[in-house]
Amino acid sequence: MAYKSNSVSITDIPGLIKKNIFYPIYFLYGEDNYLLRNTADYLEKHFTSLIASDFDKEVFYGSKTSIAEIVDYAVSFPFSGEKKLIVVKEFEKIKDADELSNYIKSPSDFTILILVHNSSITKFDKEYLQLLEKAGLAFEAKPLKEGAVIQWVIDYVKSKKKMIPEPEARFLVELAGDSRDTLRMQIDKMLLYIENESSITIQTINDHVVASKEYTIFQLQDALVGNDKNLALKIAYRMLETAGLGAILYPLNKYFAGLAQVKELQEKGTRNEIAARIVGTHPFYYPKYIEASKGFNTKRIAEVFDALLQADSSIKTSSTDDKTILTVLITRIMKTT
């Protein structure tokens, strides 16, 4: 049975701070690096305002410190004032994390300790983790679901006094992925080029995001539809190096699920802009779906889904390396012709 975390959501922290509910330790962890960094910065900024001297604030890095050094600083009295602040970045790199247990059991009254662990934790099987979780001091940064990421894009662009329609926001997420760091970088880059325009358009994205990427999931889809195995493997291997297998499998599942709906939508006379939303693409690209669907009948689509399912199963249940899984997947998709 999968482990179920009892950690508090990291998004609860600002509300707790506004209610003047403070904790001696904040253990921040999870997959959403954007949220981790922003929350750590928020906490650091807030508690920095409460300390009287720079001597009462220290930033450590997990690869360059030890629990003994951190605890030694934490238990020494403040230089001036009543509070001390310690921020430990890259806590996942610290080698003697198990030694933190005793401090968690009896933390200093005058010290705020912020620990930033830049990855997810699949199981709280170590004593210090169990103590943190039991005391309500572990805060998890879970990645946003696709719909929430799309809304974040819309809201972020709006905060910059510009607009991006929902289909364009969805297309950008499909293209750049769901990392908010990457999305923010791409959005900021586009905003530099549309200073005198009010909205980010599909053309803006094509000119400044698509054109800047050596290979994209859309090029891989085109290669698969065109039955160009050599090109498909070349693109897939490059994407594997830069984005990982998950960034390939999920979009391919979504793409072929979309293709499977095209014929029915056409038979119903569904307008292209509505059909594009249903299959999960931008209206600009929907004509490509119509063309691609001509080469994928029901039997072939079923075979593609079987290949994708087998690839997903191999990831979860076998020791096969990602490149081999990807090679087998591409080969099987091509053989469904």
- The predicted-structure confidence for 273-326, as pLDDT tens digits, reads as follows 899 989 988 888 899 999 999 988 889 999 999 999 999 999 888 889 999 999
The predicted model scores a pTM of 0.67
Do 192 and 225 belong to one domain? no
pLDDT at 328 over 70: yes
**Does residue 81 form part of some domain?**
yes
Residues 249 and 175 in one domain: no
3 in a domain, yes or no?
no
Say yes or no: 255 and 151 in one domain: no
Is 114 inside any structural domain? Answer: yes
Closest CA to 280 of 175, 207, 206, 153: 175
Residues above pLDDT 90, as percent of the chain = 63
Co-location of 79 and 160 in the same domain: no
Distance CA 128, CA 98 (A): 6
Closest C-alpha to 180, from 38, 281, 27, 11:
38
Please write the tens of the pLDDT for every residue from 147-170. 899 999 999 999 999 999 999 998
Statement to judge: residues 35 and 132 lie in one domain: yes
My answer on whether 115 and 188 are in the same domain is no
Q: Identify the CATH number of the domain in which residue 15 sits.
A: 3.40.50.300
Burial of 144 (0-12, 13-18, 19+ CB in 10 A): middle
User: Does 129 share its domain with 150?
Assistant: no
Let me know if residue 1 belongs to a domain.
no
Domain with residue 304: its CATH number is 1.20.272.10
Looking at the fold, whether 27 and 101 belong to one and the same domain comes out as yes
Pair 226, 288 in one domain: yes
pLDDT of residue 3: 42
Residues 178 and 273 in one domain: no
Q: Are residues 331 and 314 in the same domain?
A: yes
Owning domain of residue 329: 217-335
Residue 33 lies in a domain: yes
Domains of the chain: total? 3
Final residue of a structural domain among 141, 174, 198? 141
Model confidence band, residue 217 (pLDDT cutoffs 50, 70, 90): confident
Looking at 141, 175, 195, the residue that finishes a domain is 141
Q: Note the pLDDT of residue 212.
A: 57
